[in-house]
Amino acid sequence: MPEPLINRKPKEPRPAPEAAFDLLRPLVPLTLALLPAPEFTTRQFVNYLRATDPGEAAYTQAVSLWKDNFSLGRQVIHGQVVPRLLREEAKATWAGYVYNEPAEEDGLSVPSRWLKAGYTYPDE
């Protein structure tokens, strides 16, 4: 009788944040195109990312890189990976923290505002 084949994914050789960055990188321009306004929050970006089938699949796979602690995976994605993607890939500008908006408090990262590349606030 032949030996059964065991189909196991190879262990990811890179650190989880780097692998997550590579998984989500191609979806940044598509997600930014979905955002209706030039100013957005980290949470809004993640919600729009997850609103598409490829985005949800990539997000789920990225969070799954932290096999023993999915909560930690979500915190790293929201608090480190997404901000890095926005700065490096989208050339978005950090526009400050979000204050006194309970809808932005997700317990995963410090709520932050961003501006799409090429936009600025009008001078006051």
Write the pLDDT tens digit of every residue in 25-57: 999 999 999 999 999 999 999 999 999 999 999
Least confident of 9-23, 42-56, 78-92: 9-23
pTM for the model: 0.85
Does the structure show a pLDDT above 60 at 2? no
What radius of gyration, in Å, describes the C-alpha atoms of the chain?
17
Q: Tell me how crowded residue 111 is: count the other CB atoms within 10 A of its CB.
A: 19
Q: What confidence score (pLDDT) does residue 15 get?
A: 92
pLDDT (average), residues 2-8? 53
Say whether 27 sits in a helix, a strand or coil. Answer: helix
